[in-house]
Structure 1
Amino acid sequence: MTSTHRYPNAESHERLRRSARDLIDHGVPPRGSGGTLSVDALQLLYERASTPESAADARKLLHELQTYQVELDLLYEQLQANEQEISEDLAHYRALFEQAPAPYLVIASDGGIIEGNQAAGALFGEFNTALAGKALSTLLAPGQGATIETLLRTSAEHGTARGSVELPDHRWVTVHARAAADNDGVLIILTEATTDSARF
């Protein structure tokens, strides 16, 4: 679902220019999304077109301006399409996060919860929207803060970390921590710990 339409170089710009000229040659008028000529510019074009010596140059300039206008319209349409595609991608991945069956948390480096999904809210007996801003250690059994700190530090240094923590009701969960690619928090997935995996 990634967009492939960009105009970063001369070759792409030339394709854009050809598309604009094709539209003009087929009688497609500019839609005006990218901007319009000022009154002064139109007056100048009219004056030049009215003078036999400069009429040819005026027509050439007008055609060039029309081409630029259509280019801007095409770019504007592509920007709108890209924005729509990004919005759809974001909504798709947001839904995957929110509705995942396993509890997901995004944790800041200081152990504070940035956000959690619905399964995380159910695990801790709260609405997932109420988790943001709380320290993860406050939702665990006493004495588990040091384990969380170790997991966060290890994931920051090595990319991933794994360990187990105890909940207030004496259940144990396995913590799978992965540092975000942009270093903006740590993704934590919580799964029920087996007897063998409980504790480090």
Structure 2
Amino acid sequence: MILALKFLVSCVFLIVSYSCAEAVEIDCQRPPRLVDPSLCCKDGGRDQTTEACAQRMGIGGQHNNGPPTVEKATCFAECILKETQYMQVPEKLNYDAMRAHLQNKFSNDSAYVETMMQAYRKCEPVVQQKLQVFKRTPLGGGAAALRRGCSPYSGMLLGCSYMEYFKNCPAHRWTDNEQCALAKQFVTQCSLGA
């Protein structure tokens, strides 16, 4: 399911790294340059669900005019969770459907499946709490998405889950270099994710 998360995270969240040769003290208030998370931690890649949702939202086509709006990214995330049947009831995950989908798609990679399941399980309660605060805020950042009928839950959940996956990337999917190590240190030390 991490398939679309690279795209979503690139649109909504920043994963960053330092490119210095020496050890650097991390300053969470001053994020360094962007690094493509999939260059450090191989994810599930794009698939038919991702492509169908991107097309439905008008994201990533040849006539793309930059990153999508928060509204489109939020609805894109919701589309992915619904199409994969990870979310059959609004703002609640179906872990049985998720596990079945991941085990089917990644049958030869149980470490990936377990890492993703742990990421979602860790993030869902955190996102539920943040969502309650968001809903009490009269003009929260996702108000446009709510008007369109998309809850910010999906975008928040996918973003958090991707960050957790990145922090706990299975060794066989991790690129061991200084840039990636520093990106992971920043994401972990600055409490990005859950």
Q: Structures share a fold, TM > 0.5?
A: no
- Structure possessing the higher relative contact order (Cα contacts under 8 Å, 6 or more residues apart): 2
Higher fraction of strand:
1
TM-score w.r.t. length of structure 2: 0.24
TM-score scaled by length of structure 1? 0.23
